[in-house]
Amino acid sequence: MYGYVGKILRVNLTTRKISTINTEDYKEWGGGHGMGSAIFWDLCPDKTVDGRDPRNVITIMTSPLSGTLVPAASGRTEVQGIGIQGHPIGWYTRSNFGGRFGAQLKYAGWDGIVLEGRADKPVWIDIRNGNVKIRDGGHLWGLDTWATQEEIWQEVSDGQGFGNWVEIDSWRDRGRTTQRPAVLTIGRVGELQSPLGCLIHDAGNGAGQGGFGGVFGSKNLKAISVIGTGSIDIAHPAMLMNARLWTREKYGFNVEAPAADVGSFNFPAGPGATPYLPPGIGQRPQGCTGCHKMCRGRSAGGGNESHCVDYLFYNNYDAAKHGQITHHLLQAADLVQKAGINVYQMQTGLIWLNHLYQQGILGPGKQIDCDLPFDQLGDYVFVERMVEQIEKQEGIGKYLFKGLAQAAIDLGRYEQDLRSGILPLQEWGYSHHYDARTEVEWGYGSLLGSRDCNDHDFNVCCYWTPSICALFGAEFPVSAAELAAIIAEKCVPYSDPLMADYSDEGIYKEPMAKLVQWHRHYSNYYKQSLLFCDWAYADFVNPYAEGKKGLTGEAEPKFFTAVTGIEQSFEEGIEIGRKIWNLDRAIWALQGRHRDQEVFADYIYEVGAQPGYTTYEIPYVMPVYENGQWQYKALSGRTLDRQKVEDWKTIYYKLEGWDPNTGRPTRRTLEGLGLKEVADELEKNGKLGA
Amino acid sequence: MADRKRNSKEYSRRSFLKMASGTAVGLAFGGFLPRLINVDDHALIIPASEGYILVDTKKCGGCVSCMLACSLVHEGKENLSLSRIQVLQNSFEKYPNDISQEQCKQCTFPACAEACPTKALTADPTKGHVRLVDSRKCIGCMQCIQACPQQPARIQWNHEARHSQKCDLCSVTPYWEEKGGPDGKQACVAVCPFNAIKFTKEIPTQVGDFGYKVNLRKHDAWGALGLPTD
Amino acid sequence: MPKRSSSTIILLAVFAIGIFLAYEASQPYLYRAAFAGSYKYNLLFTNYGWLIPIAVFLGIFAGAAAKRKEAEIVDGKVLRHDETAFLIHWSHAVSCVLLLITGVYLGFLFIPRLVNTPQMVGFMINLHFIGVLVFMFSVTMHVTDVLVGGKLKEHLPADHDLGDAIAHYGAKLGLATPKKEGKFLASERLSYPLWVLSVGLVILTGVVKVSAHYWNLPAGLMKVTTLFHDLAAILVLANLAAHVFLSSIVPWSWPLIKSMINGYVPLEYAKHHHALWYEELTGEILPDPEPPAKKRNKDQQKETTTAQA
């Protein structure tokens, strides 16, 4: 096999049995999420169990591209299973993290890991090539995520230390390595099974959403360590090398002569992490295995590998208090990584608590008693106290520990704060990430799924670039018409010239439904299954490219073929994405999903869009098609119309071949995808679309 | 019949012992001869390599694309253990101590070539005197790995093919169409996203590391990006 | 010729000292301090290669000087393997096993390498060298003994040997009538050329490989040489496995392994299994061997059927 290494590790934590699944049996699903969902379907008979139930099956999957030279597609690993963050139902969901773990898992000879059951006491899993051991984790339980990893590094190196070649076996020659083991671990909140718990790898790679840290905790699993010295066979090595250099020459960031790439952070963007450091602190951009753009960084002052909301949850407060970013921010970022706490819950939680504090509702001795030092908001000590209270379930932490949605319910503020939007849990109890009122494909995609979708494909070219250009009076890299044309051209096979119309009318029409359809399918296959990184793909508008057209549609199939030897067109890949999307949809149907549940938080329908729901959004300027022409238009103040959203959902369901009354897949659609037994299972449980 | 055999053996034995003593002297000298006449000249005069790899460890992003490219073009597969350039990192260390790049220095005095007992590791005159391993002659004794004075050793043990290997400046890359070697291209240099690896024909100073770990951040957009150039 | 006990002690001492020296030589030492230091261990093949011709010379000398004892009958036993045979056989056997084990540990062809540090690799290669010394000694001692004693013909296969060997094994299976055999079985003579070929090839290629430590030999030659050294080693291993099985494991060979140690087989054993040799030693003429019971019954059945027809 090329790209794939042939075996998936299956660990039953209850029986401590370690066995193997043949990757060949699931190869049609691509890798990552597709394989994970298919394996979950087979190995978790009762899909209605709670995420903390030992019968929950967690899969941690790589793709055939992991550990290879494919740019921004080598470093990510996908996790799926029944989550515990979603509200009111912890949906079967997914998360994803970067770094070195997926690559090391491949070098060790595994395409993925399946976790079943629950260990009787804390354990960690030690993977060294084909040697897999479940080890006692009592001494790790209670350690923060960084201390856990460093402790495991020492144990796996068998006293050989680092900085030199280390034999992976004590006697037989199966190779040596200079690399440290890649470890995935949880912090204290994960051990305590809080939905705030996330999975952390190295300093700042996190699978944050879904509460998988808490799920690990429910299985008494503290960490998984992997180190490998094996090879990934490549079908066409010269083609892969050429393709990599082709992207560097034609599409990639050029450090000699960077092209102006306003407001962009995808494929052609320059290295990240720069804006967030205190002045004068040395740093380097740093990236996951095989990446060409290095979106995060490591600095002399700390904050290693925290480049996104792990910074953004606090940078404004730090800057507001001290006049500039200071070491307080770096320390705060390191703390939340070590604690293994979902930073989106920190970000939204802080916004909410701060609103309540400003309104005099929350504070020492107030209606909601909270002794967090708001006069020191912006200092490290505030975050330290907040994390401490969450871990100890004291003070306001007692509520936050259960997740923001439940916290609001327990404090009797759920309805009003989601109506006003001061607690912006946009859908399924997940934090407002981008605004459903303006960038609808983000909201719709999240609503139809299980969580905040976190798919930036249109976010860069349709929101950030136009909005920043508008804000600073810069020239748009492409006109709205050009942008719409590029999108329509690349979004095969659902291409529609009006797909990118974010106007007040357009957002409820069929072309937008086609955009969302393409988006879900592309994301499910290329990004969640083949693991092309969301921070580089899809590439629609690229300043280095001819006609500014990005490499999406051409690059993804080219790299897939170079690595695996499998000839597969872009449209064939999108179709596999549709299959995966339908399988997920079937799992949600079994969990009880009905279209009536698919509604946004009230503020989306009742409050006009404006920045303030996150620490980073700016006023939305997006492409619209009005009065027969394309233009970029400011969309501030918009709300979504409840009935029109419902009507749009009906259009969407019909496009997907789902029952418009329930939103559930029909037999015809499922059988057309080769998923007859899925249709049978839905029918048996009375959840099949009519 | 038995008698005849014994007599013939007596007769053969006498003359044979005469021959044997002569042989003894001959063989003993023969055994010593190579050591007397074989001048181990490959260690005495080894020309300097015509190419060297320089790195900027403050610029490196730790993406290990160089390692992935190296094993890809040499072996046709991806394996960090088979890469002839190694990038080591510790996520929890602070910059600039979190990453180090460890490339072969193509030492002007190659201890590895000197240590090889079968002349498998030599400075190949047909490839600009780059120090490389001919795997057909390697007996797998690992002396070169031990001899390399750098830590980690810049020679890798290829556990799959069972021979040593090392950076050859891409002289022999069956899986890359570009011409390599000191007069050609190197995969790591070509693929590094930030140009943190550079090829040069000038011999770097052999004292310490600073001849090989240089600053490559001054003449491109690095400073303009707000990143440190010192 | 040293007695068996002396040979045993000498061999054990040689191997014990050899193992010790091989181990000591494989310990790395700092030989040039620069950066993290250049380390080396002593590769005996490189530093002490001249011991190989010395071992060859010793073997030739021993083979020419060794007195062979003719077979004698004592107390119902007959001498089959004299002290010279003891020394040649056991020095060859132990060194052969040492060479194969160290070769396997180092890994070749489809066999994975079972050592992974330079010290252990060096130890295996140096042990291989010790094995080479004793192996070369034993092979040249044997060859010299055979040539000087004019015994080559009795080791090589004769025309009727193939048929005799088939009858010999067929008899074990009850399918054939065995023939009278001499001191050496036909099957032994048939295997001799295989031994000569495999051992000869492994030595020839081994000499070329050792020479590479002293002269700069072409890479293409080394690749082919190593390949054939590996293949010859597999052949030797196969030969050894067959030899050990047929000479020690199968019950009818147990007296032979005992005699390879103490020198004597029971006379009755010689009478039954090596009738021609027995006739030579005693002058008695023995009747032709009977067909085995199974075959007798089958033949009788055939005769009856034929008669009836």
Subunits close to C (at least 3 CB pairs below 8 A) = A, B
Instruction: Dump strand ranges (E) for chain C.
Output: 29-32, 38-40, 73-74, 77-79, 264-266
Say which residues have a Cβ less than 8 Å from residue A62's Cβ, sequence separation at least 6.
A31, A32, A77, A78, A102, A103, A105, A106, A110, A111, A112, A531
- Enter the tokens of residue B104: 């072969």
Interface membership of B9 toward C (CB under 8 Å): yes
Classify burial at A227, counting beta carbons within 10 Å of its beta carbon; exposed 0-12, middle 13-18, buried 19 or more: buried
Q: Provide, as residue numbers in chain C, all residues whose Cβ is less than 8 Å from the Cβ of B32.
A: 50
pLDDT of residue C149: 86
- Interface contact B111-C122, CB threshold 8 A: no
Across all residues in chain C, what is the average pLDDT? Answer: 92
Name the DSSP class of A260. Answer: P
Q: What percent of chain A has pLDDT over 70?
A: 100
Q: State the nearest Cα–Cα gap between B108 and chain C, in angstroms.
A: 13
- Over residues C256-289, the pLDDT tens digits come to 999 999 999 999 999 888 888 898 888 889 888 8
Angle at C109 between CA B133 and CA B70, to 5 degrees: 35
Identify all chain C residues contacting B30, using CB atoms and an 8 Å cutoff: 53
Nearest to C133 by CA among C210, C33, C231: C210
The confidence score (pLDDT) of residue C252 equals: 86
Q: Is B184 an interface residue toward A (CB < 8 Å)?
A: no
How many pairs of residues across A and C have Cβ atoms under 8 Å apart?
19
Closest residue to A274, CB basis, from B91, B195, B227:
B227
Residues lower than pLDDT 50 in chain C: none
With CB atoms and an 8 Å threshold, state whether C60 touches B119: no
Q: pLDDT tens across A307-318, in order?
A: 899 999 999 999
Distance from CA of B31 to the nearest CA of C (A): 4
pLDDT in tens, A443-498: 999 999 999 999 999 999 999 999 999 999 999 999 999 999 999 999 999 999 99
Q: What is the CA radius of gyration of chain C?
A: 24
How does pLDDT run across C15-59, given as a tens digit for each residue? 999 999 999 999 999 999 989 999 999 999 999 999 999 999 999
The neighbouring-strand residues paired with A623 are A632
Q: How far is B14 from chain A (nearest CA, A)?
A: 52
Q: CB-based contact (8 Å) between B30 and chain C?
A: yes
What DSSP designation does A524 have?
Answer: I
Mark yes or no for CB contact C114/A167 under 8 Å. Answer: no
Q: Which letter does DSSP use for residue B186 in this model?
A: -
Provide DSSP, A633-664.
EE-TT----HHHHHHHHHHHHHHHTB-TTT-P
Cα B123 off chain centre by: 9
Residues A607, A611, A617: CA angle, nearest 5 degrees: 140
Measured between CA atoms, the residue of chain C closest to residue B112 is C38
Place of tokens 């204290």: A188
Q: Which residues of A touch C113 (CB under 8 A)?
A: 172-173
Q: What is the pLDDT of residue B1?
A: 41
Percent of chain A at pLDDT exceeding 90: 95
Distance from CA of B121 to the nearest CA of A (A): 20
Residue B95 has pLDDT above 60, yes or no: yes
Amino acid at A341: I
Chain A interface includes B114 (CB < 8 A): no
pLDDT attached to residue C284: 87
Closest-approach residue (CA) in chain C for A170: C116
Lowest mean pLDDT among A90-104, A408-422, B17-31, B44-58: B17-31
CA distance B195 to chain C (A): 27
- Chains with 3 or more CB pairs closer than 8 angstroms to B? A, C
A375 pLDDT higher than 80:
yes
State how far Cα A433 lies from the chain centre: 12
Query: pLDDT tens digit string along A247-294?
Result: 999 998 999 999 888 878 899 998 875 567 888 899 999 999 999 999
Using a CB-CB cut-off of 8 Å, the residues of chain A touching B88 are 162-163, 178-179
Distance CA B18, CA B6 (A): 18
Q: So what's the pLDDT on residue A262?
A: 81
A77: nearest Cα among A107, A104, A45: A104
Helix (H) or strand (E) holding A35: helix A32-43
B60, B66, B81: best mutation site toward chain A, by most A Cβ within 10 Å? B81
Cα–Cα distance for residue pair B15/B10, rounded to 1 Å? 9
Tokens of B149: 């004075």
Confidence bin at B5 (pLDDT 50/70/90): very low
| Partner-chain contact C112 A173, CB within 8 Å | yes
Do C115 and A167 lie within an 8 Å CB cutoff?
no
Q: What is the DSSP string of A604-635?
A: HHHS---S-SSSS----EEEEEETTEEEEEE-
pLDDT at B42 over 50: no
Q: Give the nearest chain A residue to C104 (CA atoms).
A: A172
The rounded Cα C119 to chain-centroid distance in angstroms is 30
| Confidence label for B41 from pLDDT (cuts 50, 70 and 90) | very low
The whole-number pLDDT of residue B3 equals 43
Q: CA of A295: how far to CAs of A288, A533, A616, B67, C215, in Å?
A: 9, 11, 17, 19, 54
* pLDDT score of A159 more than 80: no
Torsion over CA: C67, C72, C76, C80 (sign): positive
Mutate to test the interface with A, among B55, B57, B59, B78 (most CBs of A within 10 A): B78
Q: Which residues of C touch B144 (CB under 8 A)?
A: none
User: A168 vs chain C: nearest CA distance in angstroms?
Assistant: 9
